Structure 1
Amino acid sequence: MKKRILIHLILLCVSTIGWTQNYKLVDSTVLTYPTKFGSTSKLAKRISTDFSNDFEKTRAVFSWIANNVAYDPSEYGKFDFEYSSKTELEKKEKEYEKKLSKRVISKGKAVCEGYSTLFKVLCDKLNIKSKVVTGGSKTQIKDIGKRYYSDHAWNIVFIENKKYLVDVTWGAGTYENRFERKVDYFFFFTDPKLFIKNHYPDYYENALLNEKVSKKEFLNEPLIYDYTFELISPQNGIIKKSEVDKVLFRFKTDKDVNSISYDLDSKNYPVNQIKSGGTLEFEIDFTNLERQRELVFYFDYEPVIGFKLK
């Protein structure tokens, strides 16, 4: 996990709406649990006793991990292993999952591999099918246009013949020199069309999308902080100052916006002319800009989208 600005909580995926009325009860119940467990079996047994269906059990797993495991970079690579055959790989993977999940649940700290592994192991014990997914992530403006590499891990859950995306690492909070817990249920059963904005799986079938989004498209798109505003233009996340004088920015939204401003690196500027009526439109003048490298827009003082300047 790298530095990122916490995006806004939005409604859970429509496909789970039948269970949303129970999630608050699940979350409040899980908050009464101990903050540490001696084994994954003990936590799974507690969840199985308190909840009856797989949606609620999965939510309980997410909620407990997000509320009790802190991100700690020193946990990276604690149980790395090598193998020379498929049989040896399968055996060592089981050992790895057991050791890592036990460490995370007892120590209360992890990096993404620990979060996602613990989530899978708990689901396994609850007889809920799930798997760990690896891929690339975008968390900072400098990630726009970067070379693709696999640097993150999350989960897919299978319930009632449907697949759902979960990222309990990002759901737990943010990290910038130290961990700050900000539980965000946006990352529980996230809409795949939104998830792909910041997560790109190593194997594209794990994106859970019918349409193809290329790695190049993923890497070159702007950095999204708030998905309640749909960007119309520009679609490219890299703005070349030497090639443009002014750029028209257009957003589609149903929300009322009273204030818009933008940061050029660390200095903030107001946007004085705003057109509305289903869309927000405003123009930014990039003449006389030299060293600035990052552009972030704020709607009503909350971060919405970021661009890289060249």
Structure 2
Amino acid sequence: MTGVLQAQDFSQVDATIKFYPKSFDEVTELSDFIARDFKTDEEKVRAIYGWIIHNVAYDLDEYDVFNYKFKNYRERNAKEEITRIKIIQRTLQKGVAVCEGYAMLFEKLCELQGIQNYLVRGDIKTSFKDIGRSFQKIHMWNVAYINGEPFLFDPTWGAGKYNQRFIKEPSYYWYKTEPKLFIKSHYPDLVEDTFLEINISKQVFARLPLIIKKDLLVTDVLTPKYGMINQGDYGKEIEFELKTEAPSVISYSYDFGDKKKMVDFSTEGDLLKFPIKKKTGELIVYFNDKPALAYKVE
């Protein structure tokens, strides 16, 4: 279980790294800057994450750069270490990477600072096609220990988003993200790397809807709990029940239609209840015109 998150002023750290070079030939050069300017592990990890998200762009073409073949596991292990070094150098020198570059650079910089950390491979949930499919190891992120406590980081997602092209949007949302928020979109290969008090299985993660509203948790979605809704489920309307503060307006659309239909809702204690007309398609529920949840209705 990760440590208690406390608000901290990182303005000096964030301002300092903006004066660093935008690229480096060797990872030790960037590490030396960080060691010179910061003393605590907390400051160093912040600087590592901050430099990466501001200076590395996501580029799908990087997937094709380091393809290699091997004859046996010994050769594979040797080539993997060589490839890891090359990925880190390319990420530093060219400022482009896919998730491996972001995560491996984060890992190496922490290692050079003497900060305990490790890579995590796992699955992510970002679109309708991810609802209900089997587990895949398609993403990589990091765990780093600060003052003896493990925390979750995803510098790839912190750098921005990819929608046919990379859109740079540096964010600290994926810096020390709380496990209960991380689990909405990330699932590790090893369940202990969720750092949740109550474990959620790979199978349950696969079946979850897309929970888009940032402060809405998996445990807040009571009905429909799972993201696949069959025509035989419910009647003519899908009954929603969530543990969340009521928005001013609830609306929905199917198949990304421009016309959002408003629905009436009621509250009962801390429960929010509302019905949505059932039809086949990809359903998005909006709170105050912003996407909150998404389901597939078949």
Structure 2: give runs of 5+ residues left out of the alignment.
none
1:168 Cα shift? Answer: 0.8
**Paired-residue identity, %:** 37
Q: After superposition, what is the alpha-carbon deviation per residue over 1:116-167, rounded to whole angstroms, capped at 9, x for unaligned? A: 1111111111111211111111110121001221111111112222111111
**1:274 matched residue in structure 2:** 265
Whichever residue aligns with residue 224 of structure 1, its letter is I
Whether 1:16 and 2:8 are equivalent positions in the alignment is no
Structure 1: give runs of 5+ residues left out of the alignment.
1-12
Whether 1:240 and 2:230 are equivalent positions in the alignment is yes
**1:160 matched residue in structure 2:** 147
1:16 Cα shift? Answer: 3.4
1:210 Cα shift? Answer: 3.9
CA 1:16/1:54 → structure 2, altered by over 3 Å: closer, same or farther?
A: farther
CA distance in 1, matches of 2:213, 2:184: 11
1:83 Cα shift? Answer: 6.4
Q: After superposition, what is the alpha-carbon deviation per residue over 1:46-82, rounded to whole angstroms, capped at 9, x for unaligned? A: 1122211111111111111111111110001533443
Question: Alignment partner for residue 161 of structure 2, among 174, 179, 189?
Answer: 174
27-36 vs 217-226, which deviates more? 27-36
- Residue 266 of structure 2 aligns to a residue in which SS? coil
Greater relative contact order (Cα 8 A, min sep 6): structure 1 or 2? 1
**1:42 matched residue in structure 2:** 29
Question: Alignment partner for residue 249 of structure 1, among 240, 253, 259?
Answer: 240
- Asked whether the 8 Å contact 2:3–2:151 carries over to 1, the reply is no
CA distance in 2, matches of 1:83, 1:77: 20
**1:10 matched residue in structure 2:** none
1:272 Cα shift? Answer: 3.4
- Residue 225 of structure 2 aligns to a residue in which SS? coil
- Asked whether the 8 Å contact 2:256–2:284 carries over to 1, the reply is no
TM-score (norm 2): 0.90
CA distance in 2, matches of 1:15, 1:73: 36
Matches within 5 A, 1:47-86: 47-81=34-68, 82=70, 84-85=72-73
CA distance in 1, matches of 2:44, 2:76: 29
Q: Show structure 1 runs of 4+ deviating over 6 A.
A: none
Q: CA RMSD in A?
A: 2.0
CA distance in 2, matches of 1:155, 1:100: 16
Question: Alignment partner for residue 264 of structure 1, among 254, 257, 262?
Answer: 254
TM-score (norm 1): 0.87
Whichever residue aligns with residue 274 of structure 1, its letter is F
CA distance in 1, matches of 2:214, 2:99: 23
- Residue 63 of structure 1 aligns to a residue in which SS? helix
Count residues with an aligned counterpart. 290
**2:211 matched residue in structure 1:** 224
